[in-house]
Amino acid sequence: MRVLLAGGAGYIGAHTAVSLLDAGHDVVLLDDLSGTSAVAAQRVERITGKSAPLVVGDAADDEVVEGVFADHGPIDAVIHFAAFKAVGESTLKPLEYYANNLDTTFALLRVGLAHGIRSFVFSSTGTVYSDPADLPFTEDSTTSVDLSNAYSKSKRMNEVVLADVARVNPDVNVTVLRYFNPVGAHTSGLIGEDPTGIPNNLMPYVSRVAIGSLERIGVFGDDYDTPDGTGLRDYIHVVDLAEGHVSALEKAAPGYAVYNLGTGRPVSVLELIASFEKAVGHALPTQILDRRPGDVAATYCDPAKAERELGWKARFDIDDASRDYWRWQSQNPQGYATAT
């Protein structure tokens, strides 16, 4: 099938493009390049030896999306990655987050349904689960729009919209994929995560310390009720995550469905740092700091539904992710900025 990837030049989008092309599908990438580079699309083609046309534009603009369908159709499916995603920033810029993260969905749905798409896959988040004690999270765990930040709220609002759209379009496969903590990079080292400024997430921050652009790793709290006192998270290799999207397109049935994409095996902050140190080959400067407000001791999922219904299961562990992320970072110390 031919798949439109909105946000397709981003971290998860580019890896998904590779997995789709490797699986025999065609892709079209739509991205405004506000958080990535056109180099990512070029490298998708370099990895796969196949075409990955990039349209530079705003996925919230109906005319832009119409142009993609006109110039690159027929398109069978849409995967929607085009969202602002910095949790902290979303608390300071809620209007921008609600506008972008909802308007992109509306435009992609309006145009896609008018052109007869058969599948719509939405990039959601495990942060829509609202009871931190309800572990491991299943797809039936409690969710809410009464969440602590605009990013998570916008994702949950999108899920509500998509459920309603699926109800009146019963022949369309509408799939929501709730991600946990994507890490790692493609084994080639050609594509990976390229955050601007100081990274918000742990592995890119650790990697920047390893490359020498940041001084030390800050560990926010070592007194949680966990085996080593640091927070537990469900880190999923980005290639596993990408392959989850292929499974959602190929095996999901018409109707509305939600799947967790995670490993189900939580890893602590200190375990991740130790894994990355093993990949780098030496210790990294680390400082224990006070807890951050709003952080919880543990967040991880039960991914059994995806394995049962989609035939998908994470294959890689944290050591694989650390090794692959370090290969990407060491080969591209400035990310895509100086890449050719």
Write down the pLDDT at residue 230: 98
- DSSP assignment of 56-119: ES-TT-HHHHHHHHHHH----EEEE------HHHHHH-HHHHHHHHHHHHHHHHHHHHHTT-SE
Does the pLDDT at position 19 exceed 90?
yes
pLDDT tens digits, 38-67: 999 999 999 999 999 999 999 999 999 999
SS3 168: helix
Does the pLDDT at position 70 exceed 70?
yes
- Amino acid identity for residue 220 in this structure: F
- Amino acid identity for residue 194 in this structure: D
Report the chain's mean pLDDT, rounded to a whole number: 96
Does the pLDDT at position 339 exceed 70?
no
pTM score of the predicted model: 0.97
194 burial type by CB count under 10 A (0-12 exposed, 13-18 middle, 19+ buried): buried
Beta strand pairing call for 232-233 and 77-80: unpaired
Write down the pLDDT at residue 338: 75
Check if the beta carbon of residue 76 is closer than 8 Å to that of residue 118. yes
User: Is 151 designated active site?
Assistant: yes
Kindly name the residue from 11, 151, 256, 336 that is annotated as catalytic: 151
CA end-to-end distance (rounded Å), the chain:
30
The pLDDT-based confidence of 293 (bands split at 50, 70, 90) is confident
Euclidean distance between CA atoms 33 and 330, whole angstroms: 23
User: Residue 50 phi/psi, 5° resolution?
Assistant: -125, 160
The pLDDT-based confidence of 202 (bands split at 50, 70, 90) is very high
H/E run at residue 29: strand 26-31
Does the pLDDT at position 108 exceed 70?
yes
- What the block records as the tokens of 6 is 């909105």
264 Rama class: left (phi>0) / alpha (psi -120 to 50) / beta: left
Euclidean distance between CA atoms 303 and 236, whole angstroms: 11
pLDDT tens digits, 260-285: 999 999 999 999 999 999 999 999 99
Euclidean distance between CA atoms 22 and 123, whole angstroms: 21
Q: What is the mean pLDDT of residues 5-24?
A: 98
